Structure 1
Amino acid sequence: MLQVLGGTVPPNTDHAVSVSLPTWRANVGYEEGEDWVISKMVCGYPRFFVHPSIQKLVAELVQRVGDPEKETATLFASIKTARICQSFILSKITPEQAQTVRIVNFVPSPNANVEPTSITSSVASVIYPKDFASIAKQVWQHSGNGISSRRGEFCLRALQDGFLVEDKSSSAADVFPQRPCKGPRRYQGRGSLSGPSWGSSTPSTSSPTPPSSNGLEEGPDYGQFIEERFGRNLSALHAKQAKIAVRKRIAGVLTADVELPEALETASTTGRVDDISEDDVYLYPSGMSSIFNSHQILMTAREPRKSICFGFPYTDTLKILQKWGPGCLFYGHGSSEDLDDLENRLKNGERFLALFTEAPGNPLLKTPDLIRIRALADQYDFAVVVDETISNFLNINVLRYADIVASSLTKIFSGDSNVMGGSAILNPHGQYYQKLKETFAQEFEDIYWAEDAVFLERNSRDFIARIEKINSTSEQITAMLKESPLVKDVYYPKYSPTRPLYDSLRNSKGGYGGLFSVTFHSNAEAVAFYDTLEVLKGPSLGTNFTLSSPYVLLAHYGELDWARSFNVDPDLVRISVGLEEVPDLRARFQAALDAVAKVEK
């Protein structure tokens, strides 16, 4: 299987959410920032790598309202999400530097002829000196609120054609009174960024665009712009219907694999729990955004307090709880002893905002004791937020024990690895339900890009059939690996010491999911297995094709000893099983095991 270093995963996909890192050495080179890897990357996981369409949009915006030599920008879909980034940067710099960080909002031109059903977009630019790029990068990565590549593509074309203009209204000026004198306002042409660097913007040498493009005195037709630029009519009505269908599907009331109009007509009245509806489901631009915003909502709805991170988490969840709000109590093992310690703290008067956990966890696939956690939460007044991404709601039902369930729709819900998305679901029987509904009504803003919603809806129609096949295949492949003396450990819910806890959450037809991790007896053996295994290799999971990565190396490269302290092996290889036929996958895994057998002991 030919894999091009730095190419899209899947191949030939403009908006792919993974990147090819086909060898162990390539993963190390990526983490070390080595040019032989970085220079070849045409994409990356979107919260870690700025897509080329967004890089070009950044360059174009900074040339218009900033100083391309000294400044760069991070882009968001709304003023509200941009302010989060601005505030975070300001908290890390001196008061004297604060005036160099500003928000410039770009909005659809008031002179354009826009039909009511046309898709439009604003883009809020947080502009700052390049020296602060590493700070802004943390917000992009952890919050997941940044604009998507499709929105970036749309806004770039709208800006170039004069349909997106700087908001110079008095209200915009009033919001940001400390905005400093800008850099050169000349517009030199279509800019581009040559790589994934956060702090660079490279001017283009293309022909200048007349300044009058910002004026739009003749009122051009927006529908014609959509048709000519995108070759299709992006209908606001279609996008709205797609979002409704996705929310119904997540609520569990839409299970039919049919076209959109029929699907919306045939949805049932029952879902994941009694009384749930699509109104209890909120869509976000990424799974991390759903977790970040759930935390923000909880801090608004309740008195801000420390949160609890229970179990070894996906890296950004812990970072969110540590960097925003009053802090975090971390239980990295997620054990019964950890719950004993938490209960003692609660008995002694400590109080918390919420407990965040994953069911099962990543990458050891351990399941937390949600029944006991729920009992403690009810007794001692804290919320429970569960990330169900890895197993998904068709396999297990965690909503009955949670106040909020978060999920990355980028993963198995979509499957095609070509669109980002996330959701937060409220338990209508939760103790904070009414207060959370009120707070969501006040604070939630729909920043999920319309085009992304359309792709996500189409991708997710056969979600149920895909899950059933992946469950079955994963059990057969993990059984094969468990039988091999070359394998040190297989981490999978079926073989976990916490299997009884997982089984207590399983639905009647639920399986054990499509993700597992495997370790070997030496680094050399792990490298041989990874390099030989003929599957696509890169970050992400839940794809329709089998995908592998040295997960701990990628997620915790700067803290491998810390990960090891929680029994997470730095040489662990994580596998996400796809839709390939079992005999085919067995042959590929056997070839990788044969390579392990040849490693000198």
Structure 2
Amino acid sequence: MTVKKITTEFGHTLPPVGPHNITVHGAGWDVGLALRDGDMSLLQKMKSIYPRFTPFGAARQLSMAIHQKLSFPPTHGCLPFVNPDIFSMAQEFAFSHHRKEHKLEPSDLLFKVVDISGVRLYCIGYPMPKTPGIIGVWQNPGTGVSSRLAEHLLKQADTLVEVPASASADAEITLDKLPAPTYLPESAAHQGLRDRIAGLMNRAPVASHKANVKSEDVYLYPTGMAAVHRLHQAIMQTRRGTVVGLGAIFHNTYHLFLEFPDGFKHFGQCNAQSGIIGEVEAHIKAEAEAGRKVSYVFVEFPSNPILVSVDLKGLRQLADKHGFLLVVDDTVGSFCNIDLLPVADVVLTSLTKSFSGYANVMGGSVVLNPSSPSYPTLSKVFQSTFHNEFFSGDAEQLLANSTDYLTRSTILNRNAAALASLLQSHIRSPAPSAVTQVLYPSHSDTHANYTALMRPATAEFTPGYGCLLSIDFADSAVAREFYDKLQVHQGPHLGAHLTLALNFNDIVWGKPEDEAKYHAGYGLRAAQVRVSVGLEEEAELVEVFEEALKFAEEAVGKN
């Protein structure tokens, strides 16, 4: 079999091409770094982009239509949202000391409200040269207008009217001063998704659940980051305090947590030798002595991109002892493979990933565990504060995509396990190996923590370890040689129908140097490649990786 070359052009989405695709292909290690550093010559060539990075496609066209109607200055951009709380969030974000040299002044922001065919949008105008100081309110909370919602509204752009508002950038904005929101109507697809997720949470439990998840325990959001953001807001109404993050955490989540006013404490090293349970308890006691408390502990299970499985049973015991909530993001492990109801108070998921599987829609969910001691209080808060921001067209696409979720997950589990086995065999080889470590749940010293929560096999599905693995190489030169020769699509995202690789750490954590050094200290090394397997034939993938490994091992011999 001859390895096929990837023919997708730079800046284009994974095939098949569609107006709402969320991937972008940019082959080559240095290409990723140039995009990270804002190379405009490359950015201008991009035909697709991850929607939470910036308004793109229909979302950008909608922003331009609003911009023109509201007579924003030509030097300004426009960010539209469904929830009015974005105005106060924008102030807090843009004027924060965290913006450093990108900090905005009150006079820089314009706040406007518009109606389009019964949908009310809250729009932020900002000077384009100062984009780095405000774009985070689109990227981190993840509540911006989706491309499908934008497409729907653009068809009715002739109904766009400005709604008088008393919002002022130089005064604190409160919701009672703004026109009331319409939010978005729900559809049958919303209920279908809640039913499906509840069913997946209850199927094949590792032990009998005290209470099964009901569809009303499932809350849907336009993105995974929106789920993180809204969950944090809800928890702060029930138990205010610091947030503790464990292990590798998705970079937008990490940076969102860094700016929480009540504080954020991160423990990076969470392997079997770390003593993380003792460290967390010592921190809780120190906080209590200082008159503070921990609100919740947040952990990805397993973590992206180093696939560490934290001791969730030990954390559950701590949570029961000290009263904090345990929030677990199961995006990488996924509903079908792991049962988190015995340990988590809340399960959070980016539905954009393997649950969707086709990289053409975004979504997120929060599932409240009815067996949790925090359930009565937290459920009451959600029932009184939740407002739908998830467009029906996105819900319909996500429901359709997830119909074959278990079938696809079987293939994803198989392909990732096959690649992990191949890579591990290279480490065992007597010749000098390009690969120094395979980062994958079954090859981790935290494997037992994963298997303790792994669902039992059933007639319809045998669980595995998900779609993600990462590869540590001898050094950056060897990693580059492998990556630049690897014939798979290269770009952000995981859980898609086609395999994606990315020099994730060098792009996400490569700057600033002090941050890069900190994260490398617990495993986020620059000489590492993250791989999200797709639905290709196993033999085809193995051959593609074997071919790239040949070049990497030749590079080892040259060093």
CA distance in 2, matches of 1:582, 1:97: 54
Work out the CA distance in 1 between the residues paired with 2:170 and 2:15.
42
Letter in 1 for 2:198: A
Task: Select the residue among 247, 268, 273 that pairs with 2:194.
Answer: 247
Cα offsets for 1:176-225 (capped at 9, x unmatched) = 26799xxxxxxxxxxxxxxxxxxxxxxxxxxxxxxxxxxxxxxxxxxxxx
Letter in 2 for 1:505: L
Distance 1:458 1:464 in 2: 13
- CA positional deviation for 1:534: 1.4
Query: Which of the numbers 257, 262, 285 marks the counterpart of 1:326?
Result: 262
AA matched with 2:246? F
> Contact (CA 8 Å) 2:495, 2:532: kept in 1 or not?
yes
TM-score when scaled to structure 1?
0.81
Pair 1:309–1:95, CA change in 2 (3 A): closer
The equivalent of 1:578 in structure 2 is: 534
Change (3 A) 1:8 1:597: same
Structure 1 pair 50/177, CA: closer, same or farther in 2 (3 Å)? closer
Instruction: Quickly say closer, same or farther: Cα 1:47–1:273, change in 2 above 3 A.
Output: farther
Q: Is the 2:109–2:169 contact (alpha carbons within 8 Å) kept by the matching residues of 1? A: no
For the residue of structure 1 that corresponds to 2:333, the secondary structure is coil
Structure 1 partner of 2:112: 104
Is structure 2 residue 370 aligned with structure 1 residue 428?
Answer: yes
**CA distance change for structure 1 residues 99 and 514 in 2, over 3 Å: closer, same or farther?**
same
**Paired residue for 1:340?**
278
2:442 equivalent to 1:504: no
The structural deviation recorded for 1:273 is 6.9
Amino acid at match of 2:258: Q
Matched-pair contact (CA < 8 Å) for 1:252–1:271: no
Deviations 1:208-258 (A, max 9, x none): xxxxxxxxxxxxxxxxxxxxxxxxxxxx99x611111111111126999xx
2:106 touches 2:170 (CA, 8 Å); kept in 1? no
Letter in 2 for 1:164: L
- Measured in 1, the distance between the counterparts of 2:34 and 2:304 equals 23
Structure number with bigger Rg: 1
Q: Structure 1 residue 347: deviation in Å? A: 3.5
Measure the CA separation in 1 of the matches of 2:249 and 2:420: 22
Tell me, in whole angstroms, the C-alpha distance in 1 between the residues paired with 2:16 and 2:41: 20
Task: Supply the distance in 2 between the matched residues of 1:105 and 1:392 (Cα, whole angstroms).
Answer: 38
Q: Work out the CA distance in 2 between the residues paired with 1:273 and 1:155.
A: 44
1:380 to 308, 311, 322: 322
137 and 100 in structure 1: CA distance in 2 versus 1, 3 angstrom threshold: closer
CA deviation map 1:345-370 (0-9, x unaligned): 33442521110110001111001111
1:496 aligned partner, one-letter code? S
Alpha-carbon distance change, 382 to 586 in structure 1, aligned in 2, over 3 angstroms: same
**Residue 386 of structure 2 corresponds to residue 455 of structure 1:** no
Gaps of 5+ in 1: 110-119, 181-235, 257-269
Q: Residue 31 of structure 1 corresponds to which residue in structure 2?
A: 36
Q: Are the aligned partners of 1:86 and 1:103 in contact in 2 as well (CA < 8 Å)? A: no
Q: Which residue is equivalent to 2:241?
A: 305
More deviation, 270-279/286-295: 270-279
- Deviation, 1:287, is 0.6
C-alpha distance in 1 between matches for 2:466 and 2:234: 30
Q: Taking structure 1 as reference, are residues 381 and 286 closer, same or farther at Cα in structure 2, changes over 3 Å only? A: same
Question: What is the rounded CA distance, in whole Å, between the counterparts of 2:130 and 2:30 in structure 1?
Answer: 30
| Aligned amino acid, residue 250 of structure 1 | I
Given that 2:111 and 2:169 are in contact with CA atoms closer than 8 Å, whether structure 1 keeps it comes out as no
1:96, CA displacement in angstroms?
11
- Structure 1 residue 57 corresponds to structure 2 residue 62: yes
Match of 1:48 in 2: 53
- Aligned-pair CA distance for 1:400: 2.4
- Structure 2 unpaired stretches of 5+: 1-5, 172-183, 427-432, 458-462
Q: State the Cα deviation string for residues 105-157 of structure 1 (Å, max 9, x = none).
A: 21145xxxxxxxxxx53321012334542222112111111111111222233
Distance in structure 2 (CA, Å) of the matches to 1:97 and 1:490: 47
Contact 1:31 / 1:557 at 8 angstroms: preserved in 2?
A: no
Are 1:3 and 2:1 counterparts? no
Q: CA deviation at 1:467?
A: 0.7
What residue in structure 2 maps to residue 514 of structure 1?
Answer: 467
Alignment partners' CA distance in 2, 1:10 and 1:77: 31
| 1:120-135 equivalence runs, <5 A | 121-130=119-128, 132-135=130-133
Q: Is the 8 A contact 1:403 1:433 kept in 2?
A: yes
1:9: how far off?
2.5
Q: 1:157 to 1:86 in 2, by over 3 A?
A: farther
Determine which of 186, 195, 215 is the counterpart of 1:278: 215
| Amino acid in structure 2 at the alignment position of 1:104 | K
Partner SS for 2:349: strand
Which segment drifts farther, 10-19 or 393-402?
10-19
Return 352-361 or 34-43, whichever deviates more. Answer: 34-43
Q: Deviations over 1:436-477 (max 9, x none)?
A: 111112221110011111110000000011111211222122
Which residue identity is paired with 2:471?
V
Q: Percent identity?
A: 31
Residues 1:549 and 1:95: Cα distance change in structure 2 (over 3 Å): closer
1:165 aligns with 2:112: no
Q: For residue 513 of structure 1, give the secondary structure of its aligned residue in structure 2.
A: coil
TM-score by length of 2: 0.87
Kindly tell me: are residues 96 and 422 of structure 1, through their superposed partners in 2, closer, same or farther at Cα, counting changes over 3 Å? closer
Shift in Å, 1:99: 5.2
Partner of 1:292: 229
1:390 maps to 2:332: yes
Deviations 1:298-325, CA, capped at 9 Å, x for gaps: 11222x2111011121112221221123
Q: Structure 2 counterpart of 1:579, which letter?
A: L
Q: Distance in 2 between matches of 1:254 and 1:427?
A: 10
Distance 1:54 1:128 in 2: 16
Structure-to-structure mapping, 1:393-542, within 5 angstroms: 393-484=335-426, 485-509=433-457, 510-542=463-495
- Give the secondary structure class of the aligned counterpart of 2:389: coil
The aligned amino acid for 1:536 is H
* CA distance 1:96–1:467, change in 2 (3 Å): closer
